[in-house]
Chains A and B, each alone.
Chain A
C-alpha cells in the first residue's frame, strides 16, 4: 500500500526557516517524483516544487525559487521541504504528493498534510 506520512505541525516566527518531512512507503521511492503543494486555510492549492529522489533533480515554481530547498534521504525514503525567510502569508497546510508518472502528472497519492503557522 502506497503511503506518504508527513511530520507534525510547526509554529515559526516571521523570518525563520522551516524543514518538514514526507516519508514514502509501499512503492519504489527512487522511481517516482515527489511534489510539494500547499493550501492556505480556506483557499486553493499552490505548487511549490517537485523532486526526483533518484538524482535529487528539483523543479521549483518561480513563485518560490530562492526560498525553497528540497532534499532527499534515499536510505529512509524521506523527502524534505525547507522554506526560508518565512512570512505570515506562508501559514498553510503543506502536502507532499506523488505524481503518477513523470514529473508533471496527476497526483495519485497524498500525505496527510503538515500545518505550518507563522506568527510573531
Chain B
C-alpha cells in the first residue's frame, strides 16, 4: 500500500499569511494527487486534482504543485474561511489519504 505522510499535523497562522502544507508519498504516484478541505461537521470538499489543477469554483489563492513523491498545497493569503483541516489523497494505486493538517488561528 502507498502511504501518504502529511506535514505539519497542525499549523497556526494569521489572516493574510502564506501557508504551505506538504504531502509525501511512499512511492511515486506521478501527479495522481488531490487536496480536500474539511470543516467541522461537513464532508471533505475538493480543492485541487491531478496535483495542480484547481477545481471549478475554488478561489485562486489555493494552488498545488509537485509530482512523483513530493507535493505541496499553498494558500497564498489565508482568509477567515480557510481555517479548516486539509487532506491529501493519492489515487494512483488504490486510494490512501494523508492524516490531515489542521489550520488554526494564531
Contacts and interface: CB of A to CB of B under 8 A. Distances in A.
Contacts, number: 52
B24 to A, nearest CB: 15
In terms of DSSP, what is the predominant structure of the interface of chain B?
A: loop
Contacts of B94: 47, 61, 104
Nearest to B98: A44
Contacts of A43: 99
Size range of the interface on A?
20 to 34
Interface residues of B, number: 22
Interface stretch (A24-32, A72-80, A107-115): A107-115
Name, among A95, A97, A107, the residue most crowded by chain B CB atoms within 10 Å (CB to CB).
A107
Contact of B95 (A44, A47, A110): A47
Interface of A: 35, 37, 43-47, 61, 95, 97, 99-100, 104-108, 110-113
Interface of B: 32, 34, 36, 43-46, 49-50, 55, 87, 89, 91-100
